[in-house]
Amino acid sequence: MEGLVFVAIALAVGAFLVLGYLADKKRREELMRFALSKQWRYDAEDPSLVVFAQGPPFGQGDSQRARNVLHGSASGFDMVAFDYSYETHSTDAKGNRTTTTHRYSVAGLRLPAYLPTLQVTGESVFHKAAALLGFDDIELESDEFNQRFHVSAGDRKFACDVLTPRTMQTLLTCPQTSWRIEGPLILSWESGRLTPVDLLGRLSTLSAVVAGVPSFIWRDHGVPDAGDPTTGRPAS
């Protein structure tokens, strides 16, 4: 009887592993087709991206991996998007060790200049993300924006300059996502795995933020040709 139970368990585990493999294979194929349709490049994995940025969700846990990587261009900027994961471990009172895998989808655009750090998150992730950066919440002039988002930055003036009334209004109409300007990057991260629909929406949000950056900020940070001052877009 015990032998039959063992066999049944082994078969169930085997079936689960096979189904998981087939689901992952189907998803990889879907992402490859999506990349081809956008004239982007697909890489199964890129170990260099585990240090893509310093703030959340990076720099935590161990066994970090960056998989299903898409490279291309979006709104005239170099773009990268990928599945990011890391592991954390805990031990209960009996000494049993549990490993938890944390999964995120990450998307980023490379900016033409290094900018101060500025992070905008929703209520659910603010406290942890802001604590990791060492910043406090910044209140802006829009009460509606302050209720929906938390803004953290080392330079309050920079945050106010970037988050103009027009940009805040744009963000209020977009699906809520966590994003951060960090050095030469603007990136967004969300729990879960990369999907084409979600990626396109988040790239649209990141592009809208960059488009709203006033031209004087680009000039102040070493971009001599700041592009069209009416949009703040850097010259391509």
Instruction: Report pLDDT digits (tens) over 59-86.
Output: 999 999 999 999 999 999 999 999 999 9
- Record the pTM: 0.81
The pLDDT mean for the chain works out to: 85
pLDDT in tens, 175-192: 889 999 999 999 999 999
What is the domain extent for residue 134? Answer: 38-220
Same domain, 124 and 70: yes
pLDDT value of residue 6: 56
Same domain, 29 and 128: no
d(CA 109, CA 31): 19
Helix, strand, or coil (residue 137): strand
Going by pLDDT thresholds of 50, 70 and 90, the confidence category of residue 18 is very low
Domain presence at residue 45: yes
Residue 202 half-sphere exposure, CB side, CA atoms within 13 Å?
24
**Higher pLDDT pick, 95 / 123:** 95
pLDDT at 129 over 90: no
Domain presence at residue 51: yes
Same domain, 42 and 32: no
Question: Average of pLDDT values for 112-117?
Answer: 96
Same domain, 88 and 22: no
pLDDT value of residue 95: 81
Terminal-to-terminal C-alpha distance of the chain? 71
Same domain, 32 and 43: no
